[in-house]
């Protein structure tokens, strides 16, 4: 009872205060720890008793479209600054909700166009999402008083929840739809008794009820290396110095090489043979790592993790087996760290391969 009335009063009060005294909104939620910008914005809209679209039109005007782009990655200043002003949130925590926070860690420099390394692609088409770019952990959602979506769930190398040790999901297990909580309130005519954000917008399945799965482990050293990488972004994540832009870049480069087939050289086949694991079917074509499903990423990451657990000797072994070439190691790699270039250099002379 009363929700429509409440919505009216809240929107009336919003109208009344436009241009008046305080710039603050009646509802001034602050971001939860590691909450995504888009999630925070949707909570604010619903908190005001309004549909997301209505709220955004009211606040940002009809000309500023919010949901036809990846606002978490793009983080438009007009949007973030407005939220800072209207909710009294500190600029640091407001900007901390955006994927710009990973600049200089996961990718070197923010670019407006294209994609960012390690940031999962949403593939926004109008207001729908064609990509599976937002993952979730059902156990994390279930533990929340108010379920919300974490920034770290947009990272392509996160396939396992560092808190629960179970696989993340990259889509609704019930209907297969990509997560799009901003569309939850579109079905109903009137705002606004919206379901918690953990509900699938497409089939209403509560994502908290998804059954957590244990991750498949190919090699325990590789798995702990990967878990360590995920943990850098975890609930109490403090980036350790060895996990820097360079190391994440090497990991990304090796993940890319894993899917390259170059003059019969196939690094993936070599690693699979070494650890005695079957390949899985991978999406064809030149798709980036950030567009792959969680199963494909988990598979490729584990092969890469095995290499990284003893990088120089395992890469050298792969090179001796003609599974990888020097030029492929550095191909399209703009910012290799010095130690990686050094390893690659050592593998530049084919005569050395014959020496043993
Ligand atoms: Zn979790
Ligand atoms: Zn669903």
Question: What confidence tens digit (pLDDT) does each residue in 54-68 have?
Answer: 999 999 998 888 888
If you average pLDDT over residues 210-222, what whole number do you get?
96
Question: What residues contact residue 262 under an 8 Å CB cut-off, 6+ apart?
Answer: 325, 328
pLDDT of residue 68: 87
* Distance from residue 137's CA to the centre of ligand 1 (Å): 5
pLDDT of residue 261: 73
The rounded percent of the chain whose pLDDT value lies above 90 is 72
pLDDT of residue 350: 67
Helix ranges (H only) for the chain are 3-17, 37-47, 52-60, 71-74, 77-87, 91-95, 138-143, 220-231, 245-258, 267-275, 294-308, 311-320, 326-330, 338-346, 350-355
Q: Which ligand is nearest to the CA of 184?
A: 2
* Distance from residue 164's CA to the centre of ligand 1 (Å): 5
d(CA 72, CA 82): 15
Q: Which two tokens stand for residue 241?
A: 């110095």
* Distance from residue 338's CA to the centre of ligand 1 (Å): 35
* Distance from residue 168's CA to the centre of ligand 1 (Å): 8
* Distance from residue 174's CA to the centre of ligand 2 (Å): 5
Q: Which ligand is nearest to the CA of 168?
A: 1
pLDDT of residue 6: 55
* Distance from residue 165's CA to the centre of ligand 1 (Å): 7
Q: Which ligand is nearest to the CA of 161?
A: 1
| Residue (of 45, 49, 44, 41) closest to 70 by Cα position | 41
Mean pLDDT of the chain: 89
* Distance from residue 204's CA to the centre of ligand 2 (Å): 6
Phi, psi of 124, rounded to the nearest 5 degrees: -70, 130
* Distance from residue 172's CA to the centre of ligand 2 (Å): 5
* Distance from residue 176's CA to the centre of ligand 2 (Å): 6
Per-residue pLDDT of 288-304, as tens digits, reads: 999 999 999 999 999 99
Question: What residues contact residue 180 under an 8 Å CB cut-off, 6+ apart?
Answer: 128, 129, 134, 201, 202
Question: Among the ranges 2-16, 186-200, 236-250, 288-302, which has the highest mean pLDDT value?
Answer: 288-302
Q: Which ligand is nearest to the CA of 139?
A: 1
The rounded percent of the chain whose pLDDT value lies above 70 is 88
* Distance from residue 132's CA to the centre of ligand 2 (Å): 13
* Distance from residue 266's CA to the centre of ligand 2 (Å): 37
Per-residue pLDDT of 130-177, as tens digits, reads: 889 999 999 999 999 999 999 999 999 999 999 999 999 999 999 999
Q: Which ligand is nearest to the CA of 230?
A: 1
Measure Cα distances from 165 to 34, 119, 159, 225, 246 in Å.
18, 21, 10, 13, 26
* Distance from residue 207's CA to the centre of ligand 2 (Å): 8
pLDDT of residue 84: 97
* Distance from residue 287's CA to the centre of ligand 1 (Å): 28
Q: Which ligand is nearest to the CA of 175?
A: 2
């Amino acid at each position: 009872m009363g929700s429509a009335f409440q919505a009216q009063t809240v929107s009336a009060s919003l109208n009344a205060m436009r241009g008046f005294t305080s710039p603050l909104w009646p509802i001034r939620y602050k971001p939860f720890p590691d909450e995504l910008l888009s999630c925070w914005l949707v909570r604010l809209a619903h908190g005001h008793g309004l549909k997301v679209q209505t709220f955004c039109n009211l606040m940002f005007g009809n000309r500023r479209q919010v949901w036809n782009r990846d606002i978490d990655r793009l983080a438009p200043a007009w949007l973030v600054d407005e939220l800072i002003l209207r909710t009294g949130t500190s600029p640091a925590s407001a900007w901390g909700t955006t994927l710009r926070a990973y600049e200089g860690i996961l990718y070197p420099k923010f670019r407006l166009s294209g994609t960012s390394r390690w940031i999962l692609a949403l593939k926004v088409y109008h207001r729908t999402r064609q990509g599976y770019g937002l993952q979730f952990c059902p156990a994390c959602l279930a533990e929340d008083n108010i379920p919300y979506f974490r920034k770290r769930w947009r990272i392509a190398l996160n396939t396992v929840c560092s808190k629960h040790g179970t696989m993340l999901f990259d889509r609704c297990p019930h209907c297969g739809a990509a997560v799009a909580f901003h569309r939850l309130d579109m079905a109903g005519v009137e705002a606004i008794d919206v379901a918690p954000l953990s509900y699938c917008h497409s089939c209403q399945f509560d994502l908290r009820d998804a059954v957590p799965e244990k991750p498949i482990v190919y090699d325990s050293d590789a798995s702990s290396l990967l878990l360590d990488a995920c943990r850098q972004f975890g609930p109490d994540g403090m980036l350790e110095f060895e996990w820097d832009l360079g190391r994440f870049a090497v990991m990304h480069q090796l993940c890319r090489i894993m899917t390259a087939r170059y003059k019969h050289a196939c690094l993936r086949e070599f690693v699979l043979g070494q650890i005695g694991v079957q390949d899985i079917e991978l999406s064809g074509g030149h798709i980036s790592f950030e567009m792959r499903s969680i199963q494909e990423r988990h598979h490729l990451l584990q092969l890469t993790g095995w290499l990284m657990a003893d990088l120089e000797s395992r890469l050298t072994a792969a090179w001796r087996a003609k599974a990888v070439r020097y030029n492929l190691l550095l191909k399209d790699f703009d910012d290799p760290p010095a130690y990686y270039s050094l390893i690659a250099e050592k593998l530049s002379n084919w005569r050395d391969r014959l020496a043993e």
